[in-house]
Chains A and B, each alone.
Chain A
Amino acid sequence: MKAVIAIAHNTFRESIRDRLLYAILFFGLLLMLATIILGSISLEQDVKVIKDLGLAGIFIINFLIILSVGTNLVSKEIDRKSIYTVLTKPIERSTFIIGKFFGLAATLFVTTAIMSTVFVAVLLVKHAGLSPLIFASLVFTYIELLFLVAIALMFSSFTAPVASALYTLAFFLIGHSMTSLTRFGEQAGPFVRGTITAGTHLLPNLEKFNIKNQVVYEVALSGPQVLWTVVYAATYITVLIIIATNILKRQEF
């Protein structure tokens, strides 16, 4: 446990000292402030626009951090050989993967918290009112980001950063296209329908974390919906970390 915390702390410290993170975060904060302007030019829909763009902006900025930092998590250590120092110590390789996951999770928690604070401040300035749904949406956004960290980490354990970023992006796009894919499958032949059905069961459905419409139109969340989403994410993340660990266990340097 001490080693997991040490690796997580080290990953967190390395990422928050990276100037790239600040550049992305600065852009994100500008985006949050820009929602005020974009909201004011919409026709009496400013609160809706601010909520919609603000929540989307928090997600996109953090996703950019995952694509730039998360997809390097393991591969950069292998390229630079800094992994030698860690793996020759008396720790399991799973410890390294779990520590890396929690390290980036901590970084994203901080960046999400900073951007959410600005977002909430913008809503207060616009007298938009703060419903519990907004906070629920921020929590769901963070869970989806953890999901994407696990995907990036898994790919990072065996591919180069660019390939890892592309695969993570592909998973993200597919994960948000499950409804369309299912509809397409229903109209296709038996083979395509079977393939799509298998794919939709195997690949992550990231739409489960998207409750932006419920926030904008004030549609309450149900208890089972929240519970099921958390269980779904926790199970999937655990499986992805196990896969990443098994890949790393077989790796030679």
Chain B
Amino acid sequence: MQIALSIRNLSKEYTNFGGSHRVVSNLTLSVPRGEVFGFLGPNGAGKTTTIKMIVGLAFPTRGTIEIFGEPSNTRTVRARVGFMSENPYFYSYLTAQEFMLFSASLLNLSSIIAHERTASLLNMVGLSGAADQQIRTFSKGMNQRLGFAQALLGDPEIVFLDEPLDGLDPLGRVDFKRMIQALKKEGKTIFFNSHILSDVQELCDSIGIIHKGKLVESGPLTRILKGRESLEEHFIRVVGAKK
């Protein structure tokens, strides 16, 4: 079993005049290739900070992050990674197609591949009808869909999604879940944060629960739940006990 993501002893501290504040503490986890991994935790637990450190937007105070056995902050690794941020916001005066082609240039894709993938991904996320529409006219759900499409533009082997289901209507959530399942069938590894535990239970092979910066539980979902309780009940019991 090949490991797609390996995090060891990861810590993040922010220092200001009031002293230092530890957001992530000694986090160690690994995600096998081809799995859908749900990273759960209450607000302020350190989920987004962890994802930001993985994709290079924040720097770890201590610890290591490896993707497919290589340090996560190299350009070669970043070419194999897709990322969608929480509440994504893009260049408002660009059309969806222009934005996708711009993202493709950053990935150094050839013009032919960029156009092909742009058309197919916009179609996949249901935005082909809005390809020539400026992003400033997009709803939140449309922005989420565009964010998802750009994350897949480089045909990444591992995709990080920060709250991808947040703010979507029920139909949008169904679409997103279908797309995540399709990616899993293609053998891609997916790591995502979510508050919507029923969806996590439906989608994930394994989960990690983080609370106050510490990983309190991690492993295959079937082993964690043992078929006795729902993920929501389990989450409340585990996180509630730590409060």
Contact = CB atoms under 8 A, between A and B. Distances in A.
Interface of A: 2-3, 5-7, 9-10, 13-14, 17-18, 80-82, 84-92, 252-253
Contacts of B59: 252
B201 interface: no
Contacts of A253: 52, 57-58
Given A5-B105, A13-B94, A85-B83, 19 more contacts: A3-B106, A3-B108, A6-B105, A10-B94, A13-B98, A14-B91, A14-B93, A80-B89, A81-B88, A82-B89, A82-B90, A82-B91, A87-B57, A88-B78, A89-B103, A90-B106, A253-B52, A253-B57, A253-B58
The listed residue with most A CB atoms (<10 A of its CB), out of B59, B76, B88, B105, is B105
Main secondary structure of the interface of B (DSSP, over half): loop
Given A3-B108, A6-B102, A10-B102, A88 B90 contact: no
A84 B106 contact: no
B94 A14 contact: yes
Interface in B16-35: none
Main secondary structure of the interface of A (DSSP, over half): helix
Nearest to B104: A6
14 contacts: A3-B105, A6-B105, A7-B106, A10-B94, A14-B91, A82-B91, A85-B83, A85-B88, A85-B90, A85-B150, A88-B55, A88-B78, A89-B78, A90-B76
Contact of A252 (B58, B103, B106, B150): B58
B87 interface: yes
Contacts of B88: 81, 84-85
Contacts of A89: 78, 103, 106-107, 154
B56 A13 contact: no
A82 to B, nearest CB: 6
A253 B89 CA distance: 14
Contacts of B154: 89
Contacts of A7: 106
Interface of B: 52, 55-59, 75-76, 78-79, 81, 83, 85, 87-94, 98, 102-103, 105-108, 147, 150, 154
Contacts of A2: 105, 108
A18 B81 CA distance: 32
A18 B58 CA distance: 31
Contacts of B98: 13
A89 to B, nearest CB: 4
A8 to B, nearest CB: 11
Nearest to A18: B93
Contacts of A91: 75, 106
B57 A90 contact: no
A13 B107 contact: no
Contacts of B94: 10, 13-14
Contacts of A252: 52, 57-59
A6 B108 CA distance: 10
A88 B57 contact: yes
B102 A84 contact: no
A92 B92 CA distance: 24
A91 B92 CA distance: 22
A93 to B, nearest CB: 10
B85 A90 contact: no
A88 B108 contact: no
List the 8 shortest-distance A-B pairs measured between CB atoms, nearest first. Answer: A6-B105, A17-B93, A89-B106, A90-B75, A90-B78, A90-B79, A253-B57, A252-B58
